[in-house]
Amino acid sequence: MSALFQPYQLKSVTLRNRIAVPPMCQYSAVDGVAGDWHLTHYAALGRGGAGLVIVEATAVSAEGRITPGDLGIWNDAQGAALAQVAAAIKAGGAAPGIQLAHAGRKAGSNRPWEGDDQMAADDPRTWQAKAPSALAHGANWPRTPLEMSVADIAQVQRDFAAAAVRARDAGFEWMELHFAHGYLAQTFLSPYANQRGDDYGGGYANRSRFMIETLAAVRAVWPEHLPLTVRLGVTEFNGHDEAELLEAIALATRFRQDGLDFLDASIGFTVVGASVPWQQTGFMLPLAERIGRASGLPMAASWGLGEPELAQRAIERGQIALVMVARAHLANPHWSFHAARKLGVAEPAAALPPPYRYWLERYTAGD
Ligand SMILES: Cc1cc2nc3c(=O)[nH]c(=O)nc-3n(C[C@H](O)[C@H](O)[C@H](O)COP(=O)(O)O)c2cc1C
């Protein structure tokens, strides 16, 4: 029996296998509202065979979008459109998840294919970014954000809680908080981005406060029976990896005590010029495994795990509980089916809908 294709249960949700599609921004929303693109894209991923499909970074407020094309979840029209997306994923047999996000100092940017940079400050389409400190990210994000007041921080945390309520009401079953990739939450944790002098900056206890409070705000409203998860940048790959990992372990342990169910280990991306070991196959796996063993949280990881044997081995060895496969699902929404065939799984098309499954079970020659 293939480890990758074993069901996985977390709280009241049972995934049909250990394959998850992590969030991938489509930058294709109008006023934050999901449209036809999102419906068709997520419907395809939902029926593609993965156990879990997590909808892209969805902004908890207008200012929390990365680009004008980001999905949002701060009003009822956005919630109603997302309910259709969640239903489309579920109709395909996957559990519908969503990632709640705030862009922080990377807000007000162009879509990647229209520049992958921050819009000029006088561009009428942009807006003022806010962040823990008035420090620009650098490189393609040169604009200096406004330092958030304590009232701003409390507002963002209320926005996360309100967004979680909307996500719950829209039918999402798996909540992921975006605490990674150089966006708002990650920049609070990062000593390179956070140089505040108050209770939210300085030592680890203060830099972790924003995440701990935001998780608590969401925990208070997100149903106990549904998975509450975080994607955390656990290291920057900037030469201080061990110190950053130790903080990530402390934080994961604290998150677990505070009611977190699952952690996805990712990259910090708060510093320019980090040395991420892109060439090293499965480089996030040992980090995720270590954090999982130390904190007791079930883990996921991504980054280059779209090779079926590699994904399978990571699950078999117990390094992670779920494998997050992103870009390979853009290339092929039915990645799971092809992985199942490659791994010699009996009935590899079992998760596909009958109009596909019927034929693929019988006629596979020539492909
Ligand atoms: C088009 C695209 C959009 C992405 N958007 C998000 C996002 O919204 N939130 C997030 O946490 N990561 C995002 N990511 C990162 C992916 O979730 C994933 O971690 C990364 O692509 C590595 O996995 P892979 O090697 O399987 O592609 C995005 C990646 C891509 C390619």
* pLDDT confidence of residue 6: 98
Q: Which of 55, 66, 78 is nearest to 111 (CA)?
A: 66
As a whole number, the mean pLDDT across the chain is 97
- Going by pLDDT thresholds of 50, 70 and 90, the confidence category of residue 162 is very high
Q: Which atom of ligand 1 is nearest to the CA of 306?
A: 26
Q: Which atom of ligand 1 is nearest to the CA of 176?
A: 11
3-state secondary structure labels for all residues of 239-278: CCHHHHHHHHHHHHHHHHHCCCCEEEEEECCCCCCCCCCC
Q: Is 303 left (phi over 0), alpha (psi -120 to 50) or beta?
A: left
d(C-alpha 19, C-alpha 284), whole Å: 16
Kindly tell me the sign of the dihedral angle through the C-alpha atoms of 77, 220, 232, 261. negative
Q: Which residues does 243 contact at the CB level (< 8 Å), separation at least 6?
A: none
Phi (first) and psi of residue 359, to 5 degrees: -75, -40
Mutate to test the pocket of ligand 1, among 116, 234, 302, 322 (most ligand atoms within 8 A of CB): 302
Q: Which of 102, 108, 204, 217 is nearest to 148 (CA)?
A: 102
pLDDT, tens digit (0-9, with 9 covering 90-100), for 135-151: 999 999 999 999 999 99
Residue bearing the bigger pLDDT, 367 or 241: 241
Mutate to test the pocket of ligand 1, among 175, 327, 335 (most ligand atoms within 8 A of CB): 327
Cβ of 320 less than 6 Å from ligand 1: no
Q: Which atom of ligand 1 is nearest to the CA of 305?
A: 26
Cβ of 99 less than 6 Å from ligand 1: yes
CA of 99 to the centre of ligand 1 (A): 11
User: ∠113-178-196 over CA atoms, to 5°?
Assistant: 100
CA of 360 to the centre of ligand 1 (A): 29
Cβ of 306 less than 6 Å from ligand 1: yes
The total number of residues written for the chain in this structure:
367
* pLDDT confidence of residue 364: 67
Residues 143-172: what's their mean pLDDT?
98
d(C-alpha 226, C-alpha 266), whole Å: 22
CA of 326 to the centre of ligand 1 (A): 6
pLDDT, tens digit (0-9, with 9 covering 90-100), for 50-67: 999 999 999 999 999 999
Q: Which residues does 11 contact at the CB level (< 8 Å), separation at least 6?
A: 224, 225, 226, 227, 261
Cβ of 180 less than 6 Å from ligand 1: yes
Cβ of 81 less than 6 Å from ligand 1: no
pLDDT, tens digit (0-9, with 9 covering 90-100), for 250-282: 999 999 999 999 999 999 999 999 999 999 999
**Cβ atoms of 155 and 130 closer than 8 Å:** no
| pLDDT beyond 70 at 9 | yes
Cβ of 58 less than 6 Å from ligand 1: no
Crossing angle between the packed helical segments 335-342 and 308-316, to the nearest 10 degrees: 80
pLDDT, tens digit (0-9, with 9 covering 90-100), for 296-351: 999 999 999 999 999 999 999 999 999 999 999 999 999 999 999 999 999 999 99
Cβ of 229 less than 6 Å from ligand 1: no
Cβ of 25 less than 6 Å from ligand 1: yes
User: ∠210-66-201 over CA atoms, to 5°?
Assistant: 25
Q: Which of 8, 27, 42, 183 is catalytic?
A: 183
| pLDDT beyond 70 at 366 | no
Cα torsion for 93, 219, 196, 187, to the nearest 10°? -10
Tell me which residue has its CA closest to atom 2 in ligand 1. Answer: 24
Q: How far is CA 318 from the centre of its chain?
A: 21
| pLDDT beyond 70 at 365 | no
Burial of residue 259 (CB within 10 Å: 0-12, 13-18, 19+) is middle
* pLDDT confidence of residue 53: 99
d(C-alpha 91, C-alpha 79), whole Å: 18
Cβ of 233 less than 6 Å from ligand 1: no
Tell me which residue has its CA closest to atom 11 in ligand 1. Answer: 23
| pLDDT beyond 60 at 93 | yes
Max Cα-Cα span within the chain: 66
- Percent of the chain surpassing pLDDT 90: 98
3-state secondary structure labels for all residues of 26-90: CCCCECCECCHHHHHHHHHHHHCCCCEEEEEEEECCHHHCCCCCCEECCCHHHHHHHHHHHHHHH
Q: Which of 281, 279, 317 is nearest to 299 (CA)?
A: 317
CA of 24 to the centre of ligand 1 (A): 5
Q: Which of 328, 252, 333, 341 is nearest to 291 (CA)?
A: 252
Q: Tokens standing for 199?
A: 């209770």
* pLDDT confidence of residue 1: 78
363 given a catalytic annotation: no
CA of 199 to the centre of ligand 1 (A): 32
